Amino acid sequence: MAQSRHITVMLGGPSAEREVSLRTGGAVAKALRTLGHTVDELDPRGLDWQLPKGTEVVFLALHGTYGEDGTVQRQLDALGVPYTGCDAEASRLGFDKRLTKERCVAAGVPTARFVVVTAADAPWPAGWQPPVVLKPVRQGSSVGLQFVDRVADWPAALAAALQFDSEVLVEERIVGRETTVGILAGVALPVVEVRPKSGAFDYQNKYTAGATDVFCPADLEPTTAARIQAAALGAFHAIGGRDYARVDVMIRPPGEPVVLEVNTLPGMTELSLLPKAAAAAGISYAELCQRMIDLALRHPVGGGKGADR
Is residue 228 within 8 Å of 247, Cβ to Cβ?
no
Is residue 199 within 8 Å of 167, Cβ to Cβ?
no
DSSP annotation of 210 reads T
Provide the pLDDT for residue 201: 47
pLDDT tens figures, 21-80: 999 999 999 999 999 999 999 999 888 899 999 999 999 999 988 999 999 999 999 999
The answer to whether residues 101 and 181 belong to one domain is yes
Domain-located, residue 33:
yes
Provide the pLDDT for residue 198: 61
Which one from 56, 67, 193, 207 is the annotated catalytic residue? 207
The answer to whether residues 156 and 127 belong to one domain is yes
pLDDT tens figures, 249-268: 999 988 999 999 999 999 99
Domain-located, residue 281:
no
Domain-located, residue 271:
no
Provide the pLDDT for residue 170: 97
The answer to whether residues 216 and 149 belong to one domain is no
pLDDT band at residue 102, thresholds of 50, 70 and 90? very high
Question: Closest Cα partner for 44 from 14, 7, 79?
Answer: 14
Which one from 91, 141, 142, 205 is the annotated catalytic residue? 141
Query: pLDDT higher for 295 or 205?
Result: 295
Provide the pLDDT for residue 272: 92
Domain-located, residue 282:
no
The answer to whether residues 37 and 130 belong to one domain is no
Provide the pLDDT for residue 72: 97
Task: Please compute the mean of the pLDDT values over residues 192-199 and round it to a whole number.
Answer: 82
The answer to whether residues 198 and 102 belong to one domain is yes
Provide the pLDDT for residue 142: 76
Which one from 17, 77, 87, 165 is the annotated catalytic residue? 17
Task: Please compute the mean of the pLDDT values over residues 233-262 and round it to a whole number.
Answer: 96
CATH number at residue 228: 3.30.470.20
Would you call 205 a catalytic residue per the annotation?
Answer: no
Domain-located, residue 304:
no
For the cut 50, the answer to whether the pLDDT of residue 309 exceeds it is no
CATH number at residue 120: 3.30.1490.20
Provide the pLDDT for residue 200: 57
Q: What percent of the chain has pLDDT over 70?
A: 93
Which one from 18, 23, 138, 246 is the annotated catalytic residue? 246
The answer to whether residues 182 and 236 belong to one domain is yes
The answer to whether residues 186 and 101 belong to one domain is yes
Domain of 153 in residue numbering reads as: 114-172
Domain-located, residue 278:
no
For the cut 60, the answer to whether the pLDDT of residue 305 exceeds it is no
pLDDT band at residue 139, thresholds of 50, 70 and 90? confident
Which one from 15, 91, 142, 263 is the annotated catalytic residue? 263
User: What does pLDDT average to over the chain?
Assistant: 92
The answer to whether residues 11 and 137 belong to one domain is no
Boundary (domain end) residue, out of 152, 172, 192: 172
Would you call 263 a catalytic residue per the annotation?
Answer: yes
The answer to whether residues 41 and 59 belong to one domain is yes
The answer to whether residues 253 and 184 belong to one domain is yes
Task: Please compute the mean of the pLDDT values over residues 227-254 and round it to a whole number.
Answer: 97
Would you call 4 a catalytic residue per the annotation?
Answer: no
Would you call 17 a catalytic residue per the annotation?
Answer: yes
pLDDT tens figures, 266-288: 999 878 999 999 999 999 999 99
The answer to whether residues 180 and 168 belong to one domain is no
pLDDT tens figures, 108-136: 999 999 999 999 999 999 999 999 999 99
CATH number at residue 53: 3.40.50.20
For the cut 70, the answer to whether the pLDDT of residue 301 exceeds it is yes
Rounded to two decimals, what is the model's pTM? 0.91
The answer to whether residues 235 and 104 belong to one domain is yes
Q: Cα(275)–Cα(173) distance, rounded to whole angstroms?
A: 27
Would you call 252 a catalytic residue per the annotation?
Answer: no
Task: Please compute the mean of the pLDDT values over residues 305-309 and round it to a whole number.
Answer: 50
Provide the pLDDT for residue 186: 93
Which one from 244, 267, 285, 291 is the annotated catalytic residue? 267
Strand 146-148 to 114-117 pairing: unpaired
Split into its structural domains, the chain has a count of 3
Would you call 167 a catalytic residue per the annotation?
Answer: no
Which one from 77, 165, 243, 261 is the annotated catalytic residue? 261
Give one DSSP letter per residue of 95-149, joined into a string. H-HHHHHHHHHHHT--B--EEEE--TTPPPPTT--S-EEEEETT--TTTT-EEES
Q: Cα(166)–Cα(155) distance, rounded to whole angstroms?
A: 15
